[in-house]
Amino acid sequence: MPKNKGKGGKNRKRGKNEADDEKRELIFKEDGQEYAQVLRMLGNGRCEAMCIDGTKRLCHIRGKMHKKVWIAAGDIILVGLRDYQDDKADVILKYMPDEARLLKAYGELPENTRLNEGLRFVGSASDMLFIPKGTRKESMFWESLIFDDMNVL
- pTM, two decimal places: 0.65
Tell me which of 4 and 90 has the higher pLDDT.
90
> Residue 69 pLDDT > 60, yes or no?
yes
In our burial notation (b when 16+ CB lie closer than 10 A, e otherwise), range 120-144 reads eeeeeeeeeeebeeeeeeeeebeee
**What's the rounded mean pLDDT across residues 30-53?**
93
Query: Per CATH, the architecture of 33-106 is what?
Result: Beta Barrel (2.40)
Q: What one-character-per-residue DSSP string does 12-78 give? A: HHHH---S-SS--PPPPP-TTEEEEEEEEEEETTEEEEEETTS-EEEEEEPTTTTTTS---TT-EEE
pLDDT in tens, 71-106: 999 999 999 999 999 999 999 999 999 999 999 999
Q: Where are the domains of the chain?
A: 33-106
